[in-house]
Every structure is written in structure tokens, then in C-alpha cells.
Amino acid sequence: MANNKLDNLRVRISGNHPVKILFVCLGNICRSPAAEGVLCAIVNEHNASANWEIDSAGTYGGHAGQLPDQRMRVHARRRGYDLTHRARRFRPADFDDFDIIIAMDGSNERDLRDMARTTSDLDKIVPMIDFVRMATRYDHVPDPYYEGAEGFELVLDLLEDGCRNIFEVLDPSVQ
Ligand code: 4NP
């Protein structure tokens, strides 16, 4: 993420304790619950769970109530993440309840922008790929739903890299 954008984000959330972060994808059964699980694991490793409130949601509600997709759970489990989130649809009140709303791809970002009620809501929306530092040809976190195993591994690679960065730059102990 560009330094000025990151500085603005830091200023906006400075003093917020815990930092409330919501990951959003389409179905809330692949990418966003995986991001939630990965960031939770990083936060727990650092004994920083009191500093964070972490959740995920989907712009589409068709999978509401379901556990993450079996394929995502298997790939995540191999890396040590137990994904137990139950899918839910994003609701406009999430703009009130969270400080940062992270969109996995451009379509998720547009859908969130359409639901924003104020400029303050809009300011909370950040693309996940902005936190990813590893070399990648992607400008978003690609939907793995219709992909094979490599799609799920790629998503986890991007999310692990991005979530490490989120923790490093936004954990209240380092602000
Ligand atoms: P997600 O993946 O947005 O990463 O949870 C998808 C899940 C379900 C569908 C598409 C993408 N679907 O079409 O049902």
C-alpha cells in the first residue's frame, strides 16, 4: 500500500482499541473466512487477541449459516488453520461496527461502495491486495470457487502475506 494511504488509515484508526476489521468476499465461504482464520492465528501467536476484533461476511447471502467450503477448510487445515466461521451476509450496520472493511476483489469493493451511506463508510473500504507484498500477477485476491487446488493455495499464500502485513502495520502495540 502507498505510504500516504497507509498513513491515512493509521491516523483514522489511531486510538481504536480493539481494531475492528471485517473481511468481505462474495460467498463468505472461501476467501474471507480464510482471511479471518489467518489473521486470528497471527494475532494469537502474538498474544494480541485483546487488540483485535476480527470477522468476515459475504456480499451474497446464499451460503449464510454454512461452514467454509470443504476444499478451503482442507487446504487451510494443512497450514494449521481451523476455519469455523459460519457464513453471513454483509449488512450496512457493519459500516458502524467495524473500522476497516477489506474487500477481496474489485467486484466486492464495488458492491460495498454501493452500500456505503456516508464518506466515512467509503473511507473504511480497503482492497486486500493493497496489503500483499509478495510478487504476484494479481491485482485482487482471485475467487477460487471454480478453480482447482492451486487456486486455494494461491489464496492462502496471498492471505498469509497480506495478514502478516496488516498485523505489522495496524496492531495497536506498534502504532
Ligand atoms: P468466496 O467464494 O467469495 O471466496 O466465498 C465463492 C463462494 C461461493 C460462490 C462464489 C464464490 N458462489 O457462486 O456460490
d(CA 4, CA 15): 19
Q: Kindly report, residue by residue over 48-105, the tens digit of the pLDDT.
A: 999 999 999 999 999 999 999 999 999 999 999 999 999 999 999 999 999 999 999 9
Which pLDDT value is given to residue 4? 84
Which pLDDT value is given to residue 2? 81
Q: Which of 24, 71, 145, 154 to mutate to test the pocket of ligand 1 (most atoms within 8 A of CB)?
A: 145
Q: What is the distance, to the nearest Å, from the Cα of residue 80 to the centroid of all Cα atoms in its chain?
A: 18
H or E element in which residue 55 lies? strand 52-58
d(CA 91, CA 59): 8
d(CA 2, CA 104): 18
C-beta of 158 in contact with ligand 1 (< 6 A): no
d(CA 53, CA 18): 6
C-beta of 59 in contact with ligand 1 (< 6 A): no
Write out the three cell numbers for 95: 459500516
d(CA 126, CA 100): 7
Q: Which of 23, 24, 28, 30 to mutate to test the pocket of ligand 1 (most atoms within 8 A of CB)?
A: 30
d(CA 70, CA 12): 37
Which pLDDT value is given to residue 79? 98
Q: Kindly report, residue by residue over 25-55, the tens digit of the pLDDT.
A: 999 999 999 999 999 999 999 999 999 999 9
Contact by Cβ (8 Å): 175, 14: yes
* Length, in residues, of the chain: 175
